[in-house]
Structure 1
C-alpha cells in the first residue's frame, strides 16, 4: 500500500473500535437497573418437579426455570440495621417471556383490589423489571392470574 493506505486502514479500524466502545458504554448507561439480576438467580434452589404448583404451571404451558429464591434485605432505620428477606417462589417462562411466580398461601390470602394487589405483588415487578409480570398461582383453585403493572403520569 502507498503512503496513505496504511493510515486509512488505521483510521477505519480506530473508528470502528471507538464506535464499538461508545455503543457498549451507551448500552451500559441506559440499561434499567436489575437487568443483571439473573446472576442473582444462580443461587436459587433447584426446581422441585414434585411440587403441585410446578406441575400445574407446566401443564398450562409454562417452563419453570428457577425454584425458590430468598432476596436478603438490609434496612437502615435511624442508624440501626434491620434485616429481612423477600421470598420468590419461582421464575417461569412462556413464549420467551419471564414471570415472577407467587403461590397462594392459606395464611396470607390476597385482597383482589387494586391496593391489595399493589401491596402484595408490586415489589416483585419492581425487583425484576425485565420480567413480563407476576404470576399468582393457586393450584387448588386451578387459577393462574397474570399481573402486570403499568405506570402512568396521571392521577386516577
Structure 2
C-alpha cells in the first residue's frame, strides 16, 4: 500500500475508536440515574400465595415476582438526621414488562385526580424508571388500574 496508505488506515481506525469511546461516554453521562432494581429488591420478602392481591393479579395474567419490600430512607433536615421508609407492596410482570404494585388500603384512600395520583404514586415511577408503570390493585373492588407517568 505504501508509506502513506498504512498511516491513513491507522488514522481512520484510531479516529473511529476515539469517536466510539466519546459516544459511549456521552451516553453514560446523559442517561438518567437509576437504581439497579435487582439490587434494590434483593431483600424483598417472599411472595405470599395466600394474599388476595397476589391471587387476583395472577388470575388477571400477571406473574408476581417479588413480595413486599421496605426501603429505608435517611433524610438530612438542617443537620438533623430523620429516618423514614418507603414500601413497595409487590413487583409483577406481564408480557416481559415489569410493574410496581401498590395495593389499596382503607386507611389511606387515594384521590384520583392528577395531583392526588402524582403526590401518592410518582415517587415509585422515579424510584424504578425502568418499570413499565404502576399497578394500583384494589382486591375488594376487584380492579387493577395502570398508571404511567410521562415527563415533558
TM-score tier (shorter): 0.7 to 0.9
Residues 111-134 of structure 1 deviation map (CA, whole Å, 9 limit, x = unaligned): 111111111111111111111111
Question: In 1, distance between residues paired with 2:66 and 2:23?
Answer: 32
* Number of residue pairs the alignment of both structures matches: 152
* Worse overlay, 73-82 or 20-29: 20-29
Structure 1: segments with no counterpart, 5+ residues = 1-9
Structure 2: segments with no counterpart, 5+ residues = 1-9
Match in the other structure for 1:58: 58
Over the residues paired in the alignment, what is the CA RMSD in angstroms? 2.4
Match in the other structure for 1:43: 43
The two structures have a TM-score, normalised by structure 1, of 0.81
Match in the other structure for 2:125: 125
Residues 32-72 of structure 1 deviation map (CA, whole Å, 9 limit, x = unaligned): 21152321111111111111100100110111111101111
The two structures have a TM-score, normalised by structure 2, of 0.83
The 8 Å contact of residues 134 and 146 in structure 2, kept in 1 or not, is answered as yes
Match in the other structure for 1:99: 99
